[in-house]
Amino acid sequence: MSPEALEELAHSIRNQGIIQPIVVRQVANDMYEIIAGERRWRASQLAGISKIPCIVKQVPDEAAVAIALIENIQREDLNAMEEAIALQRLMQEFELTHQQVADVVGKSRASVSNLLRLNGLNEPVKRLLEYGDIDMGHARALLAIEGEEQTNLARLVAAKELTVRETERLVNQTLNPPKPAETTTKDQDVCRLEQQLIERLGAKVSIAHSSKGKGKIVINYQNLAELDGILSKIH
């Protein structure tokens, strides 16, 4: 949790107190472990409150981990990257499917799947998402790019403050760059024939000759008198 968010919660606790007790379990004599509400506990300390209400539950290790993870995922201030990491841990530790994770945390399967995909981002891109330099929409678009290029594009998106739609276009242009225009060089024999016709007819002549042996000759003239002169030379 960011220091700013923790301070905001501490301010709320100073004014209103702890509305919802934290949940703990006993792990040894006079020793308890928080399984839900660590943020409230930390904020209370920051607010100078030494005693807060709690509920003691008998919870096995696996259930305690699950409760802590689920509470963490359901936090309102959690960013997309933090949520993706927590969902991944929940899925792996308890061998759950995407649908089972969705049922546990109260989200749609599509939402869970989209969040879990964020774990495939490069580490620098994950940090940009975590720090709020890019949004989840940007990150989802960037998943189509692999390797160092993904990081470079993410930094460009953050630096230029591109919209999600602009990012999608950038990714599409990267994946489908425009093909360079094909340049064709004329055969030396064709060039020689062109020059001979130019000299004989006294007009600009161009020959388009295909690799299949077909082609066309284009003779340029400025007026009908020039055309008559060209035709007389041909005859």
Q: Which amino acid is at 217?
A: I
Neighbours of 100 (CB within 10 A): 15
Structural domain 1-59, CATH architecture: Alpha-Beta Complex (3.90)
Supply the mean pLDDT for the chain: 84
Query: How does pLDDT run across 45-54, given as a tens digit for each residue?
Result: 988 998 899 9
**Maximum pairwise Cα distance, the chain:** 118
Distance from the Cα of residue 163 to its chain's centroid: 12
Domain boundaries, the chain: 1-59, 61-120, 136-177, 188-234
Cβ neighbourhood burial of 150 (10 Å; 0-12, 13-18, 19+): buried
38 is a catalytic site residue: yes
Question: Which of the following is catalytic: 8, 33, 38, 82?
Answer: 38
Q: Which long-range contacts (CB under 8 A, 24 or more apart) does 7-11 make?
A: 7/46, 9/39, 9/40, 9/43, 10/43, 10/44, 10/46, 10/47, 11/47
When pLDDT is cut at 50, 70 and 90, the band that residue 1 belongs to is low
84-116: per-residue pLDDT in tens?
Answer: 988 888 788 778 789 888 887 778 899 899 999
- Going by their DSSP bridges, the two strands 215-219 and 205-209 should be labelled as antiparallel
pLDDT digits (tens, 9 = 90+) for 193-223: 888 888 888 888 888 887 777 888 888 888 8
Q: Which CATH architecture group holds 61-120?
A: Orthogonal Bundle (1.10)
- pLDDT of 144: 94
pTM of the full structure: 0.54
Would the CATH topology of 1-59 be identical to that of 61-120? no
